[in-house]
Amino acid sequence: MSMNDYATARARMVHEQLIPRGIKDKRVLEAMSVVPRHLFVEDALQSQAYGDFPLPIGEGQTISQPYIVALMTQALALRGEEKVLEIGTGCGYQAAVLAQLCHKVYTVERIKQLAIRARKTFDRLRYLNIVCRIDDGTLGWPQHAPYDAIIVTAGGPRIPDPLLEQLADPGRLVMPVGDRLSQQLVVLEKRDGECRQQVIEHVRFVSLIGDHGWREL
Ligand code: SAH
């Protein structure tokens, strides 16, 4: 496929998968219509990159379906000035979408090979406002806290306490919470010292593995 074909595939993704399912935030739709999702997956999968499904990214991990990326991003209600923490860099696609919409993205990945590949992609595509770290993201990234928004892109048994502590007030956090096979997508809003939670979707994510997540199998 040519560059033009990919741009067309992205526009179709926005109009056929995101808008009809209720993604309304204009900035999110704009970001998803420009970030080259196909450049975050391996060559053999590029032609499928804009399909309505998750894709494998190596190391037994997956990149979420475009709708789920849009839904989680929209839930953070970014305006442009925020500092955002992402747990689970994976291939880096979600971080790139966030980077279009906020001031700076801090992203943590536990699997070294994935983190290194994502960093290369960010450099190649000139995403200068993404900072990466290889670590257990259930501990957050205390040095740069507080974060205006936190997004966890792997499913865990509960929201890790360190992430709640590192969330600014006001601040928003989105994370799949449940058992290892299926989860509820929870949006938590911290305001005036109080936290309110809401479930917005039922999802299946790979496992969040770490001190405040699951044990490795
Ligand atoms: N946002 C990613 C999704 C990747 S899948 C993307 O756009 O591609 C979830 C990722 O979370 C996997 O790469 C997995 O290795 C990572 N992960 C799981 N537990 C983690 C932890 N405790 N800390 C950091 N990353 C973790």
User: Which of 40, 107, 109, 214 for mutating ligand 1's site (highest number of atoms within 8 Å of CB)?
Assistant: 109
Is 2 labeled as catalytic in the residue annotation? no
Domains and CATH numbers, the chain: 3-203 (3.40.50.150)
Could you give the residue ranges of the DSSP H alpha helices within the chain?
3-13, 26-34, 66-75, 93-99, 112-124, 161-166
Return the pLDDT at 134. Answer: 98
User: Which of 98, 111, 116, 203 for mutating ligand 1's site (highest number of atoms within 8 Å of CB)?
Assistant: 111
* Ligand 1 atom with minimal separation from the 138 CA: 22
> Do 208 and 138 meet the contact criterion of CB atoms below 8 Å apart?
yes
Return the pLDDT at 84. Answer: 99
Dihedral (Cα; 135, 136, 137, 143), 10-degree rounding: -60
Identity (one letter) of the amino acid at 103? H
Return the pLDDT at 2. Answer: 87
Return the pLDDT at 1. Answer: 85
pLDDT tens string 66-98:
999 999 999 999 999 999 999 999 999 999 999
> Do 94 and 119 meet the contact criterion of CB atoms below 8 Å apart?
no
Strand partners, 183: 178, 203
Dihedral (Cα; 51, 153, 42, 48), 10-degree rounding: 0
Where the chain has pLDDT below 50, the residues are none
Strand partners, 185: 176, 201
Return the pLDDT at 47. Answer: 95
